[in-house]
Structure 1
Amino acid sequence: MKKKLWFASFFIILISIIVYWFYFSKPISFPTNEQLVAEMNSVFPEATASIIQDTIPIDERHVLAPFISKGDDYGLSYWVWKNHKWKVVSIDTKGKPMLWKLNINDPSSLYFVWNIHPKDQLSSIHFYLIRDRGYHITQGIEHYNPRVQMEERVSLQEKSYGLMELPDDWVKFMNAYNKVESAKQSPERDMYFGWIPYDQTDKGIFPENSVNGTSYSNGEVGLEYVMILNKGDIEIPR
């Protein structure tokens, strides 16, 4: 009996070690640029990745790797430590801004990411969080929601690529907004993100070299498209 109990205890401990190693162990060193390129072109040949511009850790389990393809496209690859290995979970051959959601329920874990082609000659990107104004009547009670418009400017003078954590005031607003909307029977979902690209003369332009690419995803990444806006979409305070 004691021998059986010993074997059972040993088996449970062994399984626990294996589960921890496979699911919860800390990441090992990130792959080399050559390994990244090989992995990307293996899982998504259309990427034709050639040069890794940088590897940008968001936390110990998430890394953004902007790259240049053999066809001179500027793209983005998203890497996650999972099941005891680094995996490329998504690849975009163009580097238009996207929102990477590490935790969809936590606004503080959302990041804008981008890699703009130098041919577009952008000087800056202006990111926006917008909640449209609205009016409705519920059970005879009138409700008016004022417009919310938050802006954050990012310079592209030094690098074509980058990431930006949501500002603290954006996070506070989103937490309050999500709390109110989750309590409603019919959430309005009238909040969205957008961006406007500006050239060297501070003129809003369309970055044709940084959009309309192809992409790969294994379904294990939270990415949200960020709407490109026009100056006419933005309200200027009087």
Structure 2
Amino acid sequence: MRRRRLVIVVILIIAAAVIVFFRTYDGKPGPLPNVDEIMAELNEFDSKADAAVVLNNVKLTEQQVFIPFVSSQGIHGMGFLKWEKRKWSVVRVDMSGRPEVRITDHSDPSGRYVVWNNNPLEKVKEFRFYLIRDRNAGMSNGVYYYVPRVQMEMLVNVTEHPYGAMPFPDEWAGIMREDEKLNKAPAANIMDNLFMQSYSQPSTMYVGYFPVYANDAPLLGSSSKSGDEDTEFLMIMNETDLERPQSD
């Protein structure tokens, strides 16, 4: 009798494990829905999408896809599909089309993409994307420290690429990894490693962009954005936010 009960318990445990596995296992991504199905999914997710034309589907990872689209009113929007629970689902729609960061891997800065879908009526000629770390200086544990400024630039010709998904450059990802190590570093002898300071305030690193418009570009109002856990918004920068090399 005892052995029979043990067998029943083992069977129940195995059955529960199988159920949990199939409920959580996403499996290998299947083929993407067709264009009509994608538009229907976008419009069902957000009635304001009113998607009428899908411009492309851009694979970010095997499980995530970027969908630039145009509404019936000519608004340029962005949709994001994710393979979850053994099916493709829309997880977010943005109707501004303006640049933002899409995160595909929260554990590694290289798992980030800058995405955009610019409306040609805005007459943007170029996006200048920047990775910025503000300089910082002070004293911690009786030791003076100095964190130098980082300003890395990447240019995109919007006339040639009105929409896109640009992976973070290796240089950007490398700088961000080093910055994360610096922020997590314990108190250390600054003479052992000049770049492993322990300071009270972590460095501020962010990504922003500077849009370059044509001379006859119209005046644009602000647009609101709402994100999800995989979205990072970009700061719109001014010339005064940037540092230029001093000319002789």
Q: Distance between the aligned counterparts of 2:8 and 2:26, measured in 1?
A: 26
- RMSD of aligned Cα (Å): 2.8
CA contact (8 A) 2:104 2:230 kept: yes
Q: CA deviation at 1:65?
A: 0.1
CA contact (8 A) 2:66 2:80 kept: yes
Structure 1: tracts of 5 or more residues without a match: none
**Secondary structure of the equivalent of 1:96?**
coil
1:171 counterpart (170, 173, 176) = 173
Whether 1:63 aligns to 2:71 is: no
Judge which range, 153-162 or 105-114, deviates more: 153-162
The equivalent residue for 1:212 is 223
The equivalent residue for 1:114 is 116
Whether 1:197 aligns to 2:185 is: no
Deviations 1:159-208 (A, max 9, x none): 3110111111111111000011023584524111100111347x9x8983
Relative to structure 1, is the Cα distance of residues 99 and 81 closer, same or farther in structure 2, using a 3 angstrom cutoff?
same
Whether 1:234 aligns to 2:242 is: yes
TM-score (norm 2): 0.82
Higher strand share: 1
Relative to structure 1, is the Cα distance of residues 103 and 78 closer, same or farther in structure 2, using a 3 angstrom cutoff?
same
CA contact (8 A) 2:134 2:204 kept: yes
Relative to structure 1, is the Cα distance of residues 176 and 207 closer, same or farther in structure 2, using a 3 angstrom cutoff?
farther
Runs of 4+ that moved beyond 6 A: none
Relative to structure 1, is the Cα distance of residues 178 and 113 closer, same or farther in structure 2, using a 3 angstrom cutoff?
same
The equivalent residue for 1:12 is 14
Structure 2: tracts of 5 or more residues without a match: 186-197
Whether 1:222 aligns to 2:230 is: yes
Q: CA deviation at 1:20?
A: 4.5
Report the AA paired with residue 223 of structure 2. Answer: N
Structure whose alpha-carbon radius of gyration is higher:
2
**Secondary structure of the equivalent of 1:47?**
coil
Larger RCO (alpha carbons 8 Å, 6+ apart): 1
**Secondary structure of the equivalent of 2:60?**
strand
Q: CA deviation at 1:123?
A: 1.6
The equivalent residue for 1:37 is 39
Q: Distance between the aligned counterparts of 2:178 and 2:131, measured in 1?
A: 14
Q: Distance between the aligned counterparts of 2:180 and 2:146, measured in 1?
A: 17
TM-score (norm 1): 0.86
Q: How many residues align?
A: 232
Relative to structure 1, is the Cα distance of residues 15 and 212 closer, same or farther in structure 2, using a 3 angstrom cutoff?
same
